[in-house]
Structure 1
Amino acid sequence: MPITVISDRIKFFINRTRERLWVKPLASCVLSIAGALIAKLADYTQLAQILPSVTVESVETLLSVMASGMLVIATFAVGSMVAAYGSASNTASPRSFALVVADDVSQHALSTFIGAFIFSIVGLIATKNGYFQHAGHFVLFILTIIVFMMVILTFVRWVDRIARLGRLGTTIEKVEKATAEALKRRRDAPNLGGRPVESKYYTGLAIPTDSIGYLQHINIAALQTYAEQINGYIAVAVLPGSFIVPGRPLAYIDAESLVPNDVDCSLVTSAFLIDKERVFDDDPRFGLVVLSQIAARALSPAVNDPGTAIDILGILTRLFVGWKTQMGSEYTPEVKYDRVTVPELSIQEMFDDAFTAIARDGSGAVEVQIRLQKMLSILAAMGDDAMRDAAIRHAQRALAYAEKNLLLPEDIATIRKISSFAFDDPLEERY
């Protein structure tokens, strides 16, 4: 299997394991056991002649204090993290849970506390059973002091982070960062490294799937390898984030000497990773959806926080402006896989993901409608025809929502004036 295919799979696997809370604590436990036992190696050297004496009682006392304290701190850390995760799901969106769990500082803190506990238990058992000699006791003592320092520094840093983890503002920042990174990757490879689609009609042999769920990742390198083997071309028909049902074609194979019975469909379908949930990595639209859902929750009568929706409108505008700024007219993406065609993201669908729910749920809040119209006018003036069409369509739709739900004629007139950019005819001729 080519190296590019393997590295692509490994990269996606690493990103998924970062979202698993048990990975770093497990690695910390293994390192802790190794660290506690490595002190024995000093007993086989000449270090005993030059190292100062350390009493066994002092080492056992330090390890006992650490063993009793780390279990309590680790339990407290787990409780605080669970509370933060629940807060993130309740105040922002359940779809942001994976980003909160993947917080590096919290995972590092939990790993350090559990690792220190395992280290102290292993060291204490070995010491009480006479496993170490003079040099080993000294090395274990030094390692214990180092672990103590790591625990203190980690705890101080973690307390500062846990005070913010799960807060609405922190969760929004994480979602924005994940969305921006996904958009950047898609800007660098609009067609995921393949060739752009030249026709909206697919030809060739359709490759369906028996799976159901969301498409999380496409291994374009694997499709390129198979296309080279059959001396043909593969047209990808779906993008990450699409909901896949049995029988829906994932791709189409076009080859001159193609015999349908000779096609190994499993080699094609295995390049499409389908699972129960959407992920942020290759799905920029998912980030836009999550941001829109957070704004919609803030606009619900139970929360009534239009300020959060206004802030998210600014974030969405910043993301779209960054998308357009990088995707200049002179930009030519690199084609790494010339036998695979992949469709680009639809700016119309991206605007639907970002602004539809906010326009609907914020239709009765004049301040939200004003900010929405202003943000759409900024995007309409970016110089991109597709983005302008999408912005105009959503401005008109938002105005229709506002006219239906705003109570004061003065508020409606204000929204009409701001949204005049979305209409070709003069304002006074329309109303």
Structure 2
Amino acid sequence: MIARWRWVTNQLSKRLWFRASLFSLLGVATALLAVVFKDFIPESLPARIGADAVDKILGIIASSMLAVTTFSLSTMVSAYSAASSAVTPRATTLVMEDTTTQNALATFIGSFLFSLVGIIALSTGAYGTQGRVLLFAVIIAVVILIVYTLLRWIDHLSKLGRVGETIDRVEKATMAAVSQRVKWPYLGGAGYPPDLVLPPSSQRLTSGQTGYVQHIDVKALGLVAKEHHVRLYLEILPGSFVHVGMPLAHIVALDRERIDEGILAADKILAALTIDVRRTFEHDPRFGLSVLSEIASRALSPAVNDPGTAIDVIGRGVRTLTCWGKPQISSSKPDPGCDLVYLRGLTVEDLFNDFFSPISRDGASLLEVNVRLLKALISLSQINPMLFRQVCIKHADLLLNRANATLLLQYERDQLSSLVRTLTL
């Protein structure tokens, strides 16, 4: 499982300022590169290639890149607003993490700084005639990069913030989280039996914060457990909402004579947990399914009245849950050094409740949505009968009860009942 430092690095790399800062530093370094290597250029070369044109080119790049960056930022803000209002605010973070947008803005800002530093260095005479040649060659490369980025950015603008494209991002992030959880059902630790009775000597570790668990560094917890000779039984998973005083874990000493080790390990255990104000898609499959369900519910609201989008989301939910039902190589055994850390696994009931229940409730009065939901449940029961069949029957019965209470025509109710019987045969 991903360690805390790798997770923090991954989160930082998704921030807009991170790429922009890297490209800006690269632009400044590139502009100053000609000063360092100017002595390697033959003195007769500047007159041949017309390196005196660099002043005008740098001025054009500086003025145009500033305007393009301003336009791109306004377009990006509009896309965020569109994704938040048309899809769901929970999906905006995925739009903000779009690498194409970040690379485009970073390229524009880096090119602007490159030209600005180049103009300043030229005005001080730092380049000389030989340095201008090297700067001219770098300018040609920068112009090619700008043209390529602009063409790619223009094509990307046609999709940025659109409903379908945003749903694609949510589905992709959810499938990644589901596939990762299938591979590591206990995040690299050992399974926490649901019926396990802990000894009376176990110590309870409570939360001092209120928020959502974003990440659990199981490897760090494994080191703490081994160092203090304790077993750690976690009561939380990524995505869990915790509040002050809520039990986060139980600490069981391996040796009765060292029962105080649990108190010494408390601060280290809390340091391995990341708690913040909102949920994230990484390591939290239930959040992704909830966001997909929220998109469908919003589409079914009277203000939007778009059952087609809801039907599309139901199909995406089937694809996502199929990842949970496919036989894959699962690392159910603890990672080395993590066998003293116990975590609970996700259940099929949790996943189905997160996705199907809200759509079934909000689409109960629409026959086409009910039919699509039942066909989705039938498909999942056929994909993995051992895993999905019982929970599919449960949700089909719940859907039928809701539909019978809202649908006016007996013909429509009979059609749904026929589909439910197909599932239970």
Alignment of 1:148-297 (within 5 A): 148-201=143-196, 203=198, 204-255=202-253, 256-257=255-256, 258-260=258-260, 262-297=263-298
2:128 to 128, 133, 139: 133
Residue 128 of structure 1: how far off its partner (Å): 1.8
Paired residue total: 417
2:340 equivalent to 1:339? yes
SS in 2 for 1:106: helix
Residue 223 of structure 1: how far off its partner (Å): 0.7
Alignment of 1:112-123 (within 5 A): 112-123=107-118
Asked whether the 8 Å contact 1:347–1:390 carries over to 2, the reply is yes
**Compared CA separation, residues 129 and 202, structure 1 to 2 (3 A):** farther
Residue equivalent to 1:427: none
Residue 201 of structure 1: how far off its partner (Å): 3.8
Residue 10 of structure 1: how far off its partner (Å): 2.4
Q: Which moved more, 1:108-117 or 1:378-387?
A: 378-387
TM-score normalized by structure 2? Answer: 0.94
Asked whether the 8 Å contact 1:19–1:99 carries over to 2, the reply is no
Residue equivalent to 2:101: 106
2:70 to 69, 75, 90: 75
Residue equivalent to 1:428: none
Structure 1: gaps spanning 5 or more residues: 425-431
Residue 131 of structure 1: how far off its partner (Å): 1.3
TM-superposition CA deviations, 1:390-421 (whole Å, max 9, x none) = 21121111111111111221111111111124
Q: Give the counterpart letter for 2:393 in structure 1.
A: I
1:95 to 90, 97, 107: 90
Tell me how far apart the structure 1 counterparts of residues 197 and 107 of structure 2 sit (CA, whole Å). 53
Tell me how far apart the structure 2 counterparts of residues 272 and 286 of structure 1 sit (CA, whole Å). 18
SS in 2 for 1:338: coil
Q: Give the counterpart letter for 1:88 in structure 2.
A: A
Residue 17 of structure 1: how far off its partner (Å): 1.5
Residue 99 of structure 1: how far off its partner (Å): 0.6
Tell me how far apart the structure 1 counterparts of residues 328 and 192 of structure 2 sit (CA, whole Å). 17
2:10 equivalent to 1:15? yes
2:56 equivalent to 1:58? no
Tell me how far apart the structure 2 counterparts of residues 423 and 42 of structure 1 sit (CA, whole Å). 77
Q: Give the counterpart letter for 1:335 in structure 2.
A: P
Asked whether the 8 Å contact 1:193–1:335 carries over to 2, the reply is yes
Alignment of 1:22-61 (within 5 A): 22-45=17-40, 47-48=42-43, 53-55=48-50, 57-61=52-56
SS in 2 for 1:152: helix
Residue 56 of structure 1: how far off its partner (Å): 5.9
Q: Give the counterpart letter for 1:228 in structure 2.
A: K
Q: Give the counterpart letter for 2:222 in structure 1.
A: Q
TM-superposition CA deviations, 1:26-62 (whole Å, max 9, x none) = 1111111100001111223354355654556411000
Asked whether the 8 Å contact 2:46–2:130 carries over to 1, the reply is yes
Tell me how far apart the structure 1 counterparts of residues 384 and 71 of structure 2 sit (CA, whole Å). 53
2:324 equivalent to 1:326? no
Q: Which moved more, 1:203-212 or 1:332-341?
A: 332-341
Structure 2: gaps spanning 5 or more residues: none
Residue 387 of structure 1: how far off its partner (Å): 2.4
TM-score normalized by structure 1? Answer: 0.92
Residue equivalent to 2:142: 147
Asked whether the 8 Å contact 1:54–1:137 carries over to 2, the reply is no
Q: Which moved more, 1:250-259 or 1:238-247?
A: 250-259
**Compared CA separation, residues 421 and 332, structure 1 to 2 (3 A):** farther
TM-superposition CA deviations, 1:40-98 (whole Å, max 9, x none) = 11223354355654556411000011111111111111111111111111111100111
Asked whether the 8 Å contact 1:309–1:368 carries over to 2, the reply is yes
Tell me how far apart the structure 2 counterparts of residues 11 and 159 of structure 1 sit (CA, whole Å). 33
Q: Which moved more, 1:258-267 or 1:207-216?
A: 258-267
RMSD: 1.8
Residue equivalent to 2:394: 393
Asked whether the 8 Å contact 2:207–2:246 carries over to 1, the reply is yes
SS in 1 for 2:333: coil
Tell me how far apart the structure 2 counterparts of residues 298 and 274 of structure 1 sit (CA, whole Å). 31
Tell me how far apart the structure 1 counterparts of residues 175 and 47 of structure 2 sit (CA, whole Å). 55
Tell me how far apart the structure 1 counterparts of residues 385 and 93 of structure 2 sit (CA, whole Å). 34
Residue 236 of structure 1: how far off its partner (Å): 1.3
**Compared CA separation, residues 323 and 247, structure 1 to 2 (3 A):** same
SS in 1 for 2:180: helix
**Compared CA separation, residues 194 and 26, structure 1 to 2 (3 A):** same
**Compared CA separation, residues 205 and 133, structure 1 to 2 (3 A):** same
